[in-house]
Amino acid sequence: MPLTTRSALMPLLGRYVIGFIGHLVDVLGVVATILGVSVTIGFGVSQFIDGVYAITGVGWLMDMSADVPKPGTVGLIAGLLCIMGLSIVSAVSGVGPGVKYLSNLNLVLSLILLFTFVLFGSFLFAMTTYATAFVDDLLHFVSLSFGAYGPQSSEAFAMALPEAAKPLAQELIGGATNAWGGYEGFKVGLDGAATELDEASLSAAYAAGEQGRQFGWQAGWTTFYWAW
């Protein structure tokens, strides 16, 4: 059998791998590989530029016009050229001298990073969090698997707010429905009249955004991660 995706399905599809179904399997395999690798490279380049900026402070790599600095177009192109250049050099040098040494270097750097974290990082906190999260996942596996959330409208959010916070719904909804932060981050991000709300109103406002946070997490992490 040829070295193609369809060959792996020979025990399942039998003679049907020769023909339209086999062609369809191979085309879908190629498309899925291209999309998966493209997204992976995209994330890798963004992280690479973020890391270079954090270490060197080179401003032209980043877009400073946003509220939070993020990789700019020039930085992304430079990072992409750098990563693709190294990948091409590794590929054309062969499995022995190129890919093998690159893989070994990657493994050594990963071990150095791991041991640095164990010695100098919050290792006990990380392991405790990992254990409790794992047990929590086992206990709620069924409900988590079948729980689907929809987006939360600004009207629904405003209706769930206490009376004191209703006039400030537009100022509160962004932080209250942000899936990537916590309650303390929500309070720190407030400005203007929203900072004058009492603790009970702020707590109720954050609770009102629960559906938005759940939807944001599920759409931005779980569903996207499955598709990727």
Q: Are residues 33 and 115 in the same domain?
A: yes
Q: What does the mean pLDDT of the chain come to?
A: 90
| pTM for this model (two decimals) | 0.60
> Do both 34 and 113 map to the same domain?
yes
Mean pLDDT value of segment 119-147: 91
Q: Are residues 19 and 71 in the same domain?
A: yes
Distance between CA 102 and CA 107 in Å, rounded? 9
Is residue 99 located within the same domain as residue 28? yes
What is the model's pLDDT at position 3?
Answer: 87
**97 has a pLDDT exceeding 90:** no
User: Does one domain contain both 168 and 66?
Assistant: no
Q: What is the pLDDT of residues 56-96, one digit of tens each?
A: 988 888 988 877 788 999 999 999 999 889 888 888 887 77
Same domain, 19 and 114: yes
* DSSP codes joined into one string, 131-184: HHHHHHHHHTHHHHHH----PPPHHHHHHTS-TTTGGGHHHHHHHHT-TT--HH
| Whether residue 109 sits in one domain with residue 15 | yes
DSSP structure class, residue 97: I
| 83 in any annotated domain | yes
Show the domain range for 206.
154-227
User: Is residue 74 in a domain?
Assistant: yes
Q: What would the two tokens of residue 146 be?
A: 């079948």
Residue 58 has φ and ψ, to the nearest 5°, of -70, 110
Q: Which of 85-94, 105-114, 178-187 has the largest mean confidence?
A: 105-114
Looking at the structure of the chain, the number of domains it has is: 2
Domain contains 124: no
The answer to whether position 141 is within a domain reads no
Q: What is the pLDDT of residue 1?
A: 83
Spatial CB neighbours of 50, under 8 Å, sequence gap ≥ 6: 71
| pLDDT range class, residue 221, cuts 50, 70, 90 | confident
Same domain, yes or no: 160 and 89: no
- Tell me which DSSP letter residue 153 carries: P
Residue 129: inside a domain: no
**Residue 89 CA: distances (Å) to CA of 107, 111, 120:** 19, 24, 35
Spatial CA neighbour of 169 closest among 157, 181, 177: 157
Q: Are residues 98 and 158 in the same domain?
A: no
